[in-house]
Chains A and B, each alone.
Chain A
Amino acid sequence: MDAGIVDGLLYGLQTALTPEILLYCFIGVFLGTFVGVLPGIGSLATISLLLPVTYHLSPVGAIIMLAGVFYGAQYGGSTAAILLNLPGHAAAVVACLDGNPMAKQGKAGIALFVTTIASFVGSMLGLIALTLFAPAIAEVGLKFGAAEYFSIMVLGLIAASTLASGAPAKGLAMVGIGLLIGTIGTDVNTGVLRFDFGILELSDGISLVAMAMGLFGIPEIINSLSSMQETKVQAKVTLRSMIPSRAEFKQTIMPMLRGSGIGGFFGSLPGTGPSIASFMAYAVEKKVAKDPTRFGKGAIEGVTAPESANNAAAQTGFVPTLSLGIPGDAVMALMLGALIIHGIQPGPMLISEQPELFWGLIVSFAIGNIMLVILNIPLISLWVAVLRIPYRLLYPAIIIFVCLGTYSVANDVFNIYVVGFVGALGYLLLVLRFDAAPLLLGFVLGPLMEENLRRAMLLSRGDPMVFLQRPISATFMGIAALILAWSAFMVLRKFLQRKVSERERAPETLN
């Protein structure tokens, strides 16, 4: 096993150290940090915008760049959170809790330095986990048949929709709608055109880019318009002010390790990602701390552990995608989509059939993280300057970028209309408090799920019990059922708690 890993790493070095790949890696992490710093546009929107651009690149280069955007954004998101109390994206919210108070106390430089180091440590530990576990899991995955694939996709979708946020019924409904939208177009098995309503351009289905931009980019912009404020950057940041004292640094070591462990674990599970990882790490730090009251007021552990967690999670998020071809969240779904567009079949064979892709990715992740440390420490003033650009000047440009990005997929304005339509739908979903991420997951997995369902049924001669008869498949279905039962239980508990508190309040209103 060990020889295999060393061989692989050497192979990856060969692939990743070419000037072309290094350039794509750099562009990816640079854009990622930029986008992570900017509130209002996240790595998801950027990755979908870059998808058409990556068509012209080799598959390795494409994924390296897109991945760079993803984990680069984890570095940048905390910058805005610390300086402006404005998280660049969901996973950075936790950085506001203790990071912004630190900035207000004049320790902005230290907070920024410490979070960068924490991000690096988290990424590296997550990367080691990815290197060790992905090939092992792929070995297991090679034994999967159609039934197992279907079951694990069901598990992934149920986990993603019920564990994330809001009511499980709403999350599941989003998956369902995503699955339906995925059926638009030509049915691969029978060649029948489904749900095309006579529109020629729909015969290939709705483009992934248009869906992602419409669901996440546009609604975010419309939503931000109603609450645009002028934001003041907290403090002047110089290189000298960034180095923490020896005591402070010692305080960060255990949180970094704990955070990396938590992040590494949660990142590899479907349905959980950097955001949940960072929240969990914060909660654990608070519980483990000798003086929990310091949290929320500038505790350095509260800033480092979540950062390690979300970066570790960003790396291990690739485990299910690369080893089994199952995306854990919306961003991974996009990565999968990018692979499929390049003609690469995701699944357990990926690592063995495309070793330069897997190992090249691993090595370039390491290189990318090193680039990010350089980008984030000396270049911190660059990002601070970026933060000073008023949002009301940015969003019109973002809209045009979105339109042109989707146009470039097929050189057809039809896709721009699609983005507009999906954007309206996406905004409606946002207003009605639906989480759009499960929808994108369902959309990407839909065709794969249907194909595996059909094949499983064909092989079992129409016997649906096959999913429970085969042991691996039964395990996945069992876990999925447990998650459903647990979610139902939580909903019931919330309902009962509310009834109890209503009854307690009632006697007062009677008086």
Chain B
Amino acid sequence: MHSKDITDIVGGLLVIAVGAFAVLHAQQYDLGNLQRMGPGFFPTAIGSLLVVLGLFITLPALFRAGPSIKLNWTGGFWVLLSIFGFAFTLDYLGLPISATLAVLASTSAGNLPWRTRIGLGVAVSIITYVIFILGLGMNMPVLPQF
């Protein structure tokens, strides 16, 4: 427990940041007027509202206690690496290899033995091949191409 609600302080600041960014970025688009709203009107309006809401979130949080922020850094890292890695390798290495690598990446977050992980990767490759390429007829590289 902290004397200030960090969760909401950080959350509120994030909201303010998004809102401010939206308002600033939207200035490059034509705002128009109330009768004929330009592309920039809606984002500016919503962005401003967000800044106000963010203040509503952050300010009260400064005066009350709250739990600490719990982030699963290792889990998040491996899962995201698995996703981004899969996206990066799919076109170059084909589905089976990319899928196996991605499974190896995401299972690094746990403590499965190597053999199980590789086996799981192969199993997932086969299952996804059958479902997506054979069953749904999707077009996707299967073999590595350099």
Residues in A lying within 8 Å of B, measured CB to CB: 53, 167, 169-170, 172-173, 176-177, 179-180, 183, 187, 189-190, 192, 194-195, 218, 221-223, 225-226, 228, 392-393, 395-397, 399-404, 407-408, 411, 413, 416-417, 419-420, 423-424, 427-428, 431-434, 450, 453-454, 457-458, 461-464, 495, 498
| Complex Cα–Cα for A275 and B99 (A) | 35
Residue B14 is within 8 A (CB to CB) of chain A in the complex: yes
A-B contact pairs, 9 of them (CB 8 A): A173-B53, A179-B46, A226-B72, A399-B86, A400-B128, A402-B83, A403-B102, A413-B88, A498-B64
| Complex Cα–Cα for A268 and B76 (A) | 37
Residue B142 is within 8 A (CB to CB) of chain A in the complex: no
What is the distance, in angstroms, from A149's C-beta to the closest C-beta of chain B? 15
What is the distance, in angstroms, from B21's C-beta to the closest C-beta of chain A? 9
What is the distance, in angstroms, from A142's C-beta to the closest C-beta of chain B? 26
| Complex Cα–Cα for A399 and B101 (A) | 12
Looking at chain A's contact residues, the main secondary structure is helix
Residue of B39, B50, B53 near A194 (CB, 8 A) is: B39
Looking at chain B's contact residues, the main secondary structure is helix
What is the distance, in angstroms, from A193's C-beta to the closest C-beta of chain B? 9
B1-57 CB contacts (< 8 Å) to partner A: 7-8, 10-11, 14-15, 18-19, 22, 25-26, 29-30, 33-39, 42-43, 46-47, 49-50, 53-54, 56-57
Residues of B within 8 A of A416 (CB): 83-84, 86-87, 90
Q: Mark B77-118, 1 if CB is under 8 A from A, else 0.
A: 001101110111011000000010011001101101000100
Residues of A within 8 A of B116 (CB): 393
Check A464/B75 contact, CB under 8 A, given A169-B56, A177-B50.
no
What is the distance, in angstroms, from A139's C-beta to the closest C-beta of chain B? 31
What is the distance, in angstroms, from B86's C-beta to the closest C-beta of chain A? 5
Check A170/B11 contact, CB under 8 A, given A225-B110, A396-B103.
yes
| Complex Cα–Cα for A401 and B124 (A) | 9
Check A434/B103 contact, CB under 8 A, given A392-B110, A403-B83.
no
Residues of B within 8 A of A404 (CB): 128, 132, 138, 140
Whether A173 and B72, one on each chain, are in contact in the complex, defined by CB atoms closer than 8 angstroms, is no
What 10 pairs across the A-B complex have the smallest Cβ distances? A462-B35, A225-B75, A416-B87, A462-B34, A420-B83, A432-B11, A169-B56, A192-B39, A226-B72, A396-B103
Check A400/B11 contact, CB under 8 A, given A176-B49, A221-B79, A462-B34.
no
Residue B60 is within 8 A (CB to CB) of chain A in the complex: yes
Residues of A within 8 A of B49 (CB): 176
Whether A222 and B76, one on each chain, are in contact in the complex, defined by CB atoms closer than 8 angstroms, is yes
Whether A399 and B102, one on each chain, are in contact in the complex, defined by CB atoms closer than 8 angstroms, is yes
